[in-house]
Amino acid sequence: MGDEAIPPFSFSPARRWRIGFHVALASAATFSLVLMANYLAARHFKQMEWTADPQGNLSPVTLRVLSSLTNQVKVVVFYDRRGTLYSAITRLLNQFQSRCPKLEVEYVDYTIAPRAEQVRASYQLDDAEKGDLVIFSSGGKKKIVSARELAEYDYSGVFTERKVKLTKFKGELLFTSAICSVVDPRPARAYFLEGHREYDPREAEDQRGYLEFASVLQENNITVAPLTLLTNDIPADCQLLVIANPLNPIAEEELEKIEKYLALGGRLLALFSLHSIPTQTGLEKLLANWGVEVGRDWVTDSAQSKSDQPSHVVVTEFEDHPIVRPLRRSRLVLAFPRSVSRRASTPRSVDAPRVTELASTSPAGVLYKPPRKVADRKGRIPLMAAVEKGSIEGITADRGVTRIVVVGESLFWANKVIDLEANRDFARLVVNWLINRETLLNGIGPRPIKEYTITMTRVEMKTIQWLLVAVLPGSVLCVGVLVWARRRS
């Protein structure tokens, strides 16, 4: 019997065991490296945004709040998982958690989860708070954000398209505000002066109501209350006094209380309008003592007026001040504003109030003084000003530092107009500067929801279905069969 040919690829049992051992060892080493890489990545990571759409990016304000968080914050998403906003809330809180290890998030679907009753009892939820809530808590304090607050809708297509469109998601704004609320030990309270036909923060009427402006304060964790100075002093917990366009004179004893409040480091927001020109309220004289001149006039701007409403001035000229710095690429819409400027005779000593004109018209601005209807002055005309006294420039202001903001218009924060352009954002910036919340000065606006519609014919839809169901998987299968056949041959 001749020598048998030895197959070139035959292996002895010992060699097969040796190869198997090496494969097992390499697999174990690879698994260990992957496990180690994931362990390190979970503790040392950097999140990067690959999309040019800012929809998914957290604002600088939120990032500062999260990075400065030292207390543990518990978040309970008490929500129906089938809800419209559930996925948006989940994505946003995942972003929050990736930036801050101090956030603990729990998801409770109250429609199926047995823990729902425990959450109701633990957070003392009443009948009005039955579901679709996001609950923030820390150190015994809680803040509840409901689903109806989280979004803005467009109802214009209810009768034509039979649907309501989700236009804006306010999750980041409200969640960041809620975190600040539960970790900030200092309560904030704003009082609205009343008794002189001022705007009412409880009024829902379009033109004279300030209910929407009050909601801006509440979103920033500031409680709102009315104040009558004829029978009361300014309360000790008043962190902001709002005088929204008084149309009747303010009594001398009331002005004395306001002056005393400001001298002790109070914060004042004063608003005027075209309708208050005939009345000397007394507030103008008080502000003059602080270096602000409120003109008995009205202002137009032919270069910056709305085409359909020439009386509306579109403001784009902003100075370098923390209030208006974030508005450099935004616009405000004011209706027949009055001029508000720095008094020329204001002393420039170290302890004098520092007055900054915040915004003005374009060079085409025109100022009119009643009863004449001819131009009294042309050029850049200032429309609002900020006053600060008692702080060192560049150092955070605390109690004892007076801050005042004066605006020559008040209608632009009324319920019907506050959402024009950046009016609402400006309100938020003014309030946060006045009460010394420097961290929130850049503002967080609602995220616009981009909606894309793809229209396809029945034939195109069938083509897409066959492509996804048959062509793509079939191509992979064919390649596999060809490789198998080639190896067999």
- Is 187-442 in the same CATH topology as 56-170? no
pLDDT at position 346 = 64
pLDDT at position 383 = 96
pLDDT at position 193 = 97
Residuewise pLDDT in 10s, the chain (489 residues):
455 555 555 557 777 788 888 888 888 888 888 888 888 877 665 655 544 444 457 877 788 788 888 889 999 999 999 888 899 899 999 999 988 889 999 999 988 878 888 888 888 887 666 778 999 999 888 888 888 888 877 666 656 666 667 777 888 888 888 888 788 766 689 999 999 999 999 998 877 799 999 988 887 778 999 999 999 999 999 999 999 999 999 999 999 999 999 999 999 999 999 999 999 999 999 999 999 999 999 999 988 876 667 778 999 999 999 899 888 888 999 988 999 999 987 666 667 899 999 999 999 999 998 877 777 888 999 999 999 998 555 444 455 789 999 999 999 999 988 988 889 889 988 998 998 876 655 555 556 555 555 666 777 778 888 888 888 888 888 888 888 888 776
- Per domain, the residue ranges of the chain are 56-170, 187-442
Which CATH number applies to 187-442: 3.40.50.880, 3.30.70.20, 3.60.15.10, 3.40.50.2300?
A: 3.40.50.880
pLDDT at position 123 = 87
pLDDT at position 112 = 86
Predicted TM-score (pTM) of this structure: 0.67
pLDDT at position 319 = 93
pLDDT at position 53 = 45
pLDDT at position 396 = 46
Strand partners, 366: 300, 378
pLDDT at position 155 = 64
Burial track 226-264 (b if 16+ CB lie within 10 A, e otherwise) = ebebeeeebeeebbbbbbbbbeeebeeebbebbeebbee
Fold that domain 56-170 belongs to in CATH: Glutaredoxin (3.40.30)
